[in-house]
Each structure stands twice: as structure tokens, then as C-alpha cells.
Amino acid sequence: MIILTLNCGSSSAKYQVYDWEARDILAVGVVEKVTMKGSFISHEARGKPKYRLDYDCPNHTRAVDLIIKTLTDKEQGVLSDMSVIKAVGHRVVHGGDKFTKSVIINAEVMKTLEEVKALGPLHNPANIMGIEAARKVLPQALHCAIMDTAWHQTMPPASYLYALPYEWYEKYQVRRYGFHGTSFLYTAKRAAALLGQDPFNTNLIICHLGNGASVNAVKEGCSFDTSMGLTPLEGLVMGTRAGEADMAMPFYVMRKTGMSAADMENALNKKSGLLGITGQYADRRDIQQAKLAGDTRAELAQDMEAHRVKKYIGGYQAILGRVDALVFTAGVGEFAWFMREKILAGLEGTGLVYDPQKNALAHSRNGEFLISKPESRIPVYIIPTDEELVMTEDAYALMMGTYDTHTRFSYSFQQRDYVNKGRARDLKEDLAREPALASIIAQPQ
């Protein structure tokens, strides 16, 4: 049985093909610059060289069609025809407070997604277009919506409400929703497995650090608080997003400059964060190189990003009381040792004692690593996220009628002996290149 996952962003369409019986990935890829000039597909099938094709994709329907053609191509493909795909899991960034778990897509679900679309104006329109396009070209498959916000529906009112007129919440659903839910679900379950603990007796602080970034306080296995809010703009310093700032600042700048509300929204989401501070870089690798070359604004951007993450780690320690582990995940969390170093330095008094040598070794997406010193009261893990596997398992369970909220549902990856076959193969290659990696591989307790 084959399950396809799709993650359609405003200008991209990522995909993964999963063989359920073999419990293995057949292919992954992304169509980039959708709706823009110069669109192309990057495709990687198991046992085949990487493949790229320039292809005009003026809309997501064309992008999904290109994915289908690539997957069934005689040379590059992995499927004989698309009829073997039995389910499709679609990432939906914002489900509002209407969804507490993943759902089978039907007319009512689509209507609800349209109703909450205004809550996620940068992401949900693309998610919806991707769903509509896939349903047209894959009518035989069961289509499922996997909500980024569903994981956070366990937050208490004290965490998710803002100190704003209460009727705004009642009339307009103004509240904290949180995002990166599938990533936090995966890493929370994996952390509990590594700790040898019942997931619902585990308190964690998880730092999902990528171009978009957020921190999640997990209490007794459930989301308790998170840094992103009504939209993915709030919280940490991100690639191009400002994160938290004085709420009066936009009005001040708009009066000074004559900017419109749309101009300000665009500036806060696409021209701020690390890009705004450096003036030219949003990628942490570029910022690190610039810093090493003496760029003081690049160094300032790193310091600001680390400072903000530290504040959330400390704050979440206070509200959780007991913290069983700190977890880093996503692209920056998994690879950028220099950012982890800045974040962790000076936290010894809070029980977090990292090992600089172990931290510098950890730059692979194929292993789970422990980078704290033995005397650290709180272990520090790097756990590569796997949002696609969450989407795949949710879609399969929805198809089989066995799915439920994560508090009443068991995932394969929360088992102590879980192995990701693809990552295990690639880890062998990593170890051949860098044998010292073996010393930091996290062993289940």
C-alpha cells in the first residue's frame, strides 16, 4: 500500500511516497517556485541519482500534475501508476480551533478550512489549492488533512488566551494557536522513548528551529504552551519574521512612513527577523560565514536569535517545574551547531550542561544525538523531526478507521526499538565518514 504526503506552501509543493508494507520511503521531492518564473522539480528516488527538471508551474494544479508525472516516469519514477496510492496526507498549517486531530477531507471540512483561511493568510490558501489539485488528479485516494495546530489544542486557557477584549476571542477567534504541531508530536514521542518514560509522564522543552521557528512546552506529554500565536509571526527571531515586538510599533512606523496595513504585514513576515537585522541574509549558514568574515550585524543577528530562544527555555522551565529533557529539531536545530552553542552557553545554572565537543559533532539528520554532559540534570537531545511520517501514519489510520487523538493513539515511532530504515542506511554512510558520531548517538534508557 502506497501513501503520498503533500505539503503545499505558497510557492512550493513538497512530497513523499511511502511504502506501508515495507515501512520505507520510496521517493521524496519538491516543486519550487510554483506560481513564479523558473519553477522546477527536485526528485530523489531510492537507489537512483537525484533528478531535477525545469518545468513551468503557474499554479499548484500544474505542480501536483508534475509530481504525478515524475512518480510514474519510466526512468525517474517509483510507481507503475497512481492507482496504487490509497491515501494522501495533506499538511494544513492553520485549522483554527475547529480541529483537534487529523480528519478525512470532505465537503464540510473544505468549507471549514475556507472559513478559517483568514487566520493563516500566508499558508492556508496554498494548502487549500494543493488539496483541490490533488483531489482532481487522485480521485480514487482517501485525502486527509493533518493540522499543524491540532497538537496545541491541549493548551489551557491561561496559555492560549491574550489579554485583549474577551469578545475578540468569542467573535473572531483571536487566541494563541501554535504551529509546527506534527514536528512537536513526533519529537515529543521520540524523546519519551529515548528517556524510557511513559510519554504522558514526560515534561519537555522542544526547540523547532528552522526558517520558521518556535518553542513548545510539553507537560505530561501534551502541548502546554508555545511561542507562536494567532499566526506563525509571534515568538522567536526567525529567517524573515520579526517574532515578538511591541504591539504599538506597527502603528508608530505606519504613521511615520505612510505604510498600509498590507505593507506592514509584509514587512513583519518577509522583511524582518534575521533578514531585517543583517540586511541581506536569512539563512543561518550565510550569517555564520558573514560573521566569521567580520560582519558585526551578522553576529548581532545570531546573538538576538539565541537570546530570544534562551528566554523561552527559561520561561518554560518555570511553568513546567520539572523538565525531563531539552530537544533541538528542524534544520537549524539539527545542523547549526554554532547556534545551539550560543543558545546553550550559560544555562548551566538551570541544569542544562552541554558538551561543546559533542555539540560540534552533531550535524546529521540521520541520527538522534545526546549532547549534554553526564552531570547535566536535564539531558539535551537532537532529534531529527519527521513530520511526513506523522502525516503518513495519520492518513493510514484514518483510512483503516483506527485513528484518534494522540492521547488515545499509538504511533510506531514512539516504540523504544523504532528504526527509520532510510535514515539508518544513511547513518552508516555518515559513520563511515565520521566515526566519532557513534559516541553521541542517543541510546534508549
And the C-alpha cell for 295?
560582519
13 Cβ contact partners less than 8 Å away, ≥ 6 residues apart: 6, 7, 30, 31, 34, 60, 63, 64, 67, 130
And the C-alpha cell for 109?
471540512
- Choose the catalytic residue: 19, 56, 81, 148: 148
Cα distances from 257 to residues 89, 95, 147, 189, in angstroms, run 44, 35, 38, 48
87 Cβ contact partners less than 8 Å away, ≥ 6 residues apart: 3, 4, 141, 142, 143, 144, 395, 396, 398, 399
Give the Cα separation of 305 and 300 in Å (integer).
9
Report the SS3 class of residue 32.
strand
Give the Cα separation of 350 and 333 in Å (integer).
20
Contacts of 261-267 with C-beta under 8 Å, sequence gap 24+, read none
Give the Cα separation of 136 and 82 in Å (integer).
12
Instruction: Give me the amino acid identity at 183.
Output: S
Give the Cα separation of 256 and 258 in Å (integer).
6
CB atoms inside a 10 Å sphere around CB 106: 10
293 Cβ contact partners less than 8 Å away, ≥ 6 residues apart: none
Cα Dmax for the chain: 61
Q: Is the dihedral of CA 281, 286, 291, 294 positive or negative?
A: negative
- In the block, cell 492518513 appears at 395
Q: How far is CA 405 from the centre of its chain?
A: 19
Phi and psi angles of residue 303, each rounded to the nearest 5 degrees, phi first: -65, -40
- In the block, cell 478525512 appears at 104
DSSP state of 372: B
Helices (H) and strands (E) counted in the chain, each on its own, are: 16, 14
81 as an active site residue: the answer is no
The set of catalytic residues is 148
